[in-house]
A and B are shown apart, each in its own frame.
Chain A
C-alpha cells in the first residue's frame, strides 16, 4: 500500500489508529497485537506473495536470535556465538542478494559472454533490503549483548511496524521496542497534532513538490536515453531537477513515516536533515538518509577499518591520525574501506553499472574530502574547533552541491550511455540549447505540448522555487523541533550561512495553533487533490 494513496490515507491509517486507540483503552497487548496484524495486511496488500516470501526469513531470524540470546554473556561460548552470528549474516545477505541481484548477475554474465541467457525474472519483495538490514542489525545487537530479552511479539513489532516497513528509517530494536513498552496507547492531543503536521509536510513534499518536478525531469532523461544529444540547459535542468525531486520524494516519505509512527506513541530516528545545505561531502552523508549511513558505518566500514588498522598495528606500521597521517596509512585504512563501503552502497541501491559508478564516485568524493582534512591548510590556532568563515562555507556548499548533482545523473540515468550524454551536455559539449532553438526535438515536446520556451520557463521556475525551499527554509523537523518529532532531533537552530540571518536566529517554530492548522490543512488538501496522479516513492524499489 502506498503512503500517497487514498486507501492508505482515508481508510487504512485512520482505521488502524482508531482500533488501536479503542483496544488500547482495555489492554496494551491487544492494541500492539492489532498493530502487528494491520502491518501484515499493509505489507500483503499489493501482492500477498510478498508476505509468503518474507515469512520464512522472519521465522529463521527469530529462531537464530533466540539461540544467540541463550549464548550471550557467556565468554566460554563466544566462538559459537560468533560462528552463529556469521551464519545469520551470510544467510540474510544471500537472501537479499538472490532477490535483488539474480537478474543483474545473469545480465552481466550475458554481457561478458556475449550470449543472451533466458532467465525467469525474480520477483523483488517490497522493501526487502530495508527489512533485511534491520534483521542483520538485530542479530548483531543480540550477539553484542545489547538486547537482553525479546518475545515473538516484540520481534514482529520491530520487523513489521508498518510506518517504517518499506523504506526505513532503518531502526535498531532498542530504539522502538522500549517506546512501545512505555506507550500509553491513548490519544494525546499534542502528539497527534505533531504527527498530522509531519504527515502533511511529507505528503506535500512528495505529491506537490517531488512529483511536480518529476513531470519536467522524467522527459529529459527519456530524451537523453533515446540517444538524442542533451543540451547544456536541458542537462542542468534534469540533473538539478532530479536532485531536488529525489530529496523531496525521500525526505517526504520519511516525514510521512515518522508522522504516522507518532500516532502509536513511537518516535523514529531522524533520516534527513537538510542535506542539500551541506558544506562538505562528509557533512552531506551525515544529513542524507542518515539511518543508512549509520548502518553502513557501523556494520561495513568500521569492521573493515578495524580489521585493517589491527593488521597495521600488529606489524607496527604507522596508524591513521586526525592530521598529516602517513600516506600509506591513509590509503590502507581510510581510502580503501571508504571506497569499498560506498561501492557496496551503490550496489545496494540498484543492480546496475550506473549505481556501481555512483557509489565509486561518492567513495572518491569522500576520499578527497578526507585528503583535504588530512593534508589541507591548517586552521589558524584558536579556531581549531570553530566553524569555518562564511566564504569557506559558501565555497564548501557550492563544491558539495555540484558533486552531489553530478552523482545524481548517474543515480537516475537508465544506463551509462544516457548518463554520459547528460554529463556531456552539462559540460557544454552539445551546445547551449536555448529554449526554442533545439527544444523542439521529439522528447522535449513531452514537456508541455510543444510550447518549448514556455515549458522550459515553467520547469525552471519550479526548479528555482524548490531550490529556495530546500536551501533557505528550515526543514520539517526543525520547524517541529520543540516537540521532538523524531529521535535525535538536532539541538541546533535552522541556519543558512550568509542568507536570511534572521531566520537562522529565530526559526519558524510550529505551535499547535489555529493558524498553523489552517496552513497544514491547506497543504494536505492540495496534496489530496493532486493524489489522482499517484506515483510510487523512488525508494520503494530498493
Chain B
C-alpha cells in the first residue's frame, strides 16, 4: 500500500462526500483549503476512512491531524500494528 494509493482513496472518499470532483488531496493539504470541508464533513470523512481501512483512530488523534499527510501516516501506523 503506497502513500499515493492511500491519497487516491482519501481523495475518492472526500469527492464522494462533498460531491466535488475537482478535489485532489496531497500530503500538504489542510482542511481550510478545501471548500466545505468543515468540522461536520470532517467527522464523516474520518469515519468513512476508518470503515474503508478497517481501523479506528484514537479520538485524541483525530483532533491533532494538521494535514492530509498526518492522516496517511496514522493509517499506515494503524495498519502495521
Contact = CB atoms under 8 A, between A and B. Distances in A.
Given A298-B63, A302-B62, A333 B17 contact: no
B44 interface: yes
Contacts of B44: 309, 319-321, 333
B48 interface: yes
A75 interface: yes
Nearest to B18: A322
A55 interface: no
Contacts of A303: 59
A78 B39 CA distance: 26
Given A321-B17, A322-B17, A384-B20, A306 B64 contact: no
A319 B60 contact: no
A306 B43 contact: yes
Interface stretch (A139-147, A196-204, A507-515): A139-147
A306 B61 CA distance: 12
Nearest to A320: B44
Interface in B30-63: 35-36, 38-44, 46-48, 50-51, 56, 58-63
A301 B18 contact: no
Given A144-B58, A144-B63, A306 B40 contact: no
A186 interface: no
B14 to A, nearest CB: 9
Contacts of B48: 313, 319
Contacts of A148: none
Nearest to A309: B47
Interface in A71-125: 75, 78, 82, 85
B9 to A, nearest CB: 16
B60 A143 contact: yes
A322 B64 contact: no
Contact of B41 (A85, A145, A310, A322): A322
Nearest to A374: B40
Contact of A78 (B20, B50, B58, B63): B58
Interface in A326-340: 333-334
B47 A313 contact: yes
A385 interface: yes
Nearest to B48: A319
Contacts of B59: 302-303, 306
A334 B41 CA distance: 10
A301 B39 contact: yes
Contacts of B63: 140, 144, 298-299, 302
Contacts of A305: 40, 43
Nearest to B39: A297
Given A309-B47, A319-B48, A140 B60 contact: yes
B81 interface: yes
A370 interface: yes
A23 B42 CA distance: 47
Contacts of A322: 17-20, 36, 41
Nearest to A330: B40
A323 interface: yes
B40 A384 contact: no
Given A302-B43, A319-B44, A322-B36, A310 B60 contact: no
B39 A310 contact: no
Contacts of A144: 58, 60-61, 63-64
A85 B58 CA distance: 13
Interface in A9-30: none
Interface string B16-28: 0111100000000
A85 B60 CA distance: 10
Contact of B43 (A146, A323, A333, A370): A333
A313 B51 contact: yes
A310 B81 CA distance: 21
Contacts of B60: 85, 140-141, 143-145
Interface in A368-410: 370, 384-385
Interface string A288-310: 00000000011101110110011
A74 to B, nearest CB: 12
B48 to A, nearest CB: 6
Central interface residue in A145, A306, A310, by most chain B CB within 10 Å: A306
A298 B31 CA distance: 14
Interface string A237-281: 000000000000000000000000000000000000000000000
B47 A370 contact: no
Contact of A313 (B19, B41, B50, B62): B50
Given A319-B47, A321-B44, A306 B20 contact: no
A26 to B, nearest CB: 37
Contacts of B64: 141, 144-146
Interface of B: 17-20, 35-36, 38-44, 46-48, 50-51, 56, 58-64, 81
Given A319-B44, A320-B43, 17 more contacts: A75-B81, A85-B60, A144-B64, A146-B64, A298-B63, A305-B40, A305-B43, A309-B44, A310-B50, A313-B50, A313-B51, A321-B17, A321-B18, A321-B41, A322-B18, A322-B41, A333-B43
The 3 closest A-B pairs by CB, nearest first: A144-B60, A385-B35, A309-B47
21 contacts: A141-B60, A144-B61, A145-B60, A298-B63, A302-B42, A303-B59, A306-B46, A309-B43, A312-B47, A313-B50, A319-B17, A319-B44, A320-B40, A320-B43, A320-B44, A322-B18, A322-B19, A322-B41, A370-B40, A384-B35, A385-B35
